[in-house]
Structure 1
Amino acid sequence: MKLEWKKASNAQSTRLHEVEGVPFLTFPKLEEAGVTHGFSTRLGGVSEGIFASMNLSYNRGDEKASVDENYRRMGKAIGFTPDQLVFSNQVHDTKIKIVTKEDCGKVMTGMDGLMTDEKGICLVTSYADCVPLFFYDPVKGVVAVSHSGWKGTVNRMGKKTVEKMESVYGSKAEDIIAAIGPSICQKCYEISEDVAIQFADAFPEEWYDTFMVDKGNGKYQLDLWKVNEYILLDAGILKEHLDITDLCTCCNPELLFSHRASKGKRGNLAGFIRL
């Protein structure tokens, strides 16, 4: 199918694929490293109504049988089977769970990040505007995926993920290949002053001035992509090992689920990564 995207930049950092009518997105650097991964669109599934059609959430009111079929289709497209999945139940915190094959089929409650060095496990996290962060260490054989909304971002979820890969598996930041996935862009993401103050307190002024625009009247536009780029580079990720998306969920509501664009009436996208 021919999809018409509104792109936030000309970065060419998000690639579109389609397998048997199921489109999904990948990132060049992870793809070239040979790690199985993908990010869903809202197309190619069987869900109906506000969930149409590739809803990957069991918790928003959709039919379980439809979500099961959506996962089956997405797995066939990307390269996993549903019984390999480990799910996160995200709470906008920065807790990260080390998972094993015993966790397959389970939901990791209260976790916004998942990590493993075991083959045959597919990590999955859910999104509808927040930032997906993907990680692969080809030297130690480790994958991770983290959910970073504004709360996760202000608390440096990306850096905490890198540090956990280093402490648990002996990874080196300069070996890690990473991607910042489709999420809400600065143009679409208006925040209030209390949130802007938290970012001002958390990050150097020279960073703040490049990712925050003061619109007046206590309203600001926040660039989550830029903040997460700073966080990952500060954690030691090399710029040449980092892909930054050019696709906004809110700019593309017909192709991606967006909480803001739909006013909360939506399904969920998902990010997947597997050794």
Structure 2
Amino acid sequence: MEPFVVQAQKTNEDQPVLLTIANWMSAFPEITAGFTTRLGGVSEAPFTSLNCGLHVNDRPSDVVRNRERIADVLGQPFDAFTYAEQVHGKEIAIVSLNEQGMGRTSRETALQATDGFITKESGIVLCAQFADCVPLYFYDPVQRVVGLAHAGWKGTVLNISMATISLMTHTFGSRPSDIRAAIGPSIGACCYEVDETVASRVRQVFEEIQMTQVEQEAIITNKGNHKYQLNLQELNRKLIEQAGILSSHIEVTQLCTSCRTDLFFSHRKESGSTGRMIAWIGLT
């Protein structure tokens, strides 16, 4: 069953259409977690219409209005939403009330050079931006810690999932066996062709975690001529398992951002001229 489901149907042209992690919303009413679509905002083409990225040459006032509308639909104060400037690394920030709301209206005030964050504070909603890369969500219901990470191919081979889980463990005493994880909408193996440079880095990861041949074949397929199809979602799932999270505690989407440009922005499918969705998670 698809874990990401529509949270609010669009009732007019201005209301954002959002996806939430349905099982989590039912089991853990103390959190909010999900993924935006491209529908229900005020941005004009080619950012039509719920663009949440301030770095894509959209009108900043439209982006901020879109972000405000998302907060309204979720019933959360806009001041709670906290953003980072992502650099395809594996730097994870610990967010306190001192950082609450950073980056929500400008890039300059965002957490700099950060691709993931964790928090134990209620009233903070962590937000990361996506248009094909893989959103990784984490929640420890025992210690009540949430985490969010941005995993493109670079962040994935740097094992940003392990970095996030380790920081939750060392900072807040989380046990991997207690943590829930979710892998959100992103480009699927059906659409993600990579070259030898990327494939060679992925093979290094296979060696590092001693992945079996069968497991490797589920992640990367040689198409010939130094081209490969890469299942970035499955690679992240295996890395999350390697970090100690139970397979039964991992939710994985079937939604491909490149296949579904009616619903999502896709940097690759739309040749780089497009908007950004956000993944969000927070303790309400």
Asked if Structure 1 and Structure 2 have the same fold, meaning a TM-score greater than 0.5 normalized by the shorter chain, the answer is yes
Q: 1:1-275 maps to which residues of 2 (within 5 A)?
A: 11-18=1-8, 21-32=15-26, 33-34=28-29, 35-106=31-102, 107-203=110-206, 204-206=210-212, 207-275=215-283
Q: How many residues align?
A: 265
- Could you tell me which residue of structure 1 aligns to residue 107 of structure 2? none
1:85 is displaced (CA, Å) by 1.5
Q: Which runs of 5+ in 1 are unaligned?
A: 1-10
Contact 1:30 1:178 in 2 (8 A): no
Which SS does the other structure have where 1:125 is aligned? strand
Contact 1:132 1:271 in 2 (8 A): yes
Contact 2:220 2:229 in 1 (8 A): yes
Letter of the 1:262 partner, please give it: E
1:76 is displaced (CA, Å) by 1.5
Which SS does the other structure have where 2:269 is aligned? helix
CA distance in 2, matches of 1:274, 1:234: 25
Contact 1:199 1:208 in 2 (8 A): no
1:103 is displaced (CA, Å) by 0.9
1:83 is displaced (CA, Å) by 1.1
Letter of the 2:84 partner, please give it: S
- Could you tell me which residue of structure 2 aligns to residue 5 of structure 1? none
1:208 is displaced (CA, Å) by 2.0
Computed over aligned residues only, the root mean square deviation of the Cα atoms, in angstroms, reads 1.2
CA distance in 2, matches of 1:114, 1:65: 26
CA distance in 1, matches of 2:203, 2:152: 16
1:222 is displaced (CA, Å) by 0.3
Contact 2:125 2:281 in 1 (8 A): yes
CA distance in 2, matches of 1:17, 1:120: 20
Contact 1:29 1:177 in 2 (8 A): no
Contact 1:144 1:273 in 2 (8 A): yes
CA distance in 2, matches of 1:137, 1:80: 21
Sequence identity percentage? 39
Which SS does the other structure have where 1:108 is aligned? coil
1:205 is displaced (CA, Å) by 4.5
Which SS does the other structure have where 2:187 is aligned? coil
Contact 1:37 1:78 in 2 (8 A): no
1:149 is displaced (CA, Å) by 0.3
Which SS does the other structure have where 1:214 is aligned? strand
CA distance in 2, matches of 1:232, 1:29: 19
Contact 2:4 2:34 in 1 (8 A): no
Which SS does the other structure have where 1:39 is aligned? strand
Contact 2:39 2:49 in 1 (8 A): yes
- Greater shift in the superposed pair: 206-215 or 216-225: 206-215
Contact 1:36 1:79 in 2 (8 A): no
- Greater shift in the superposed pair: 179-188 or 230-239: 230-239
Letter of the 2:231 partner, please give it: D
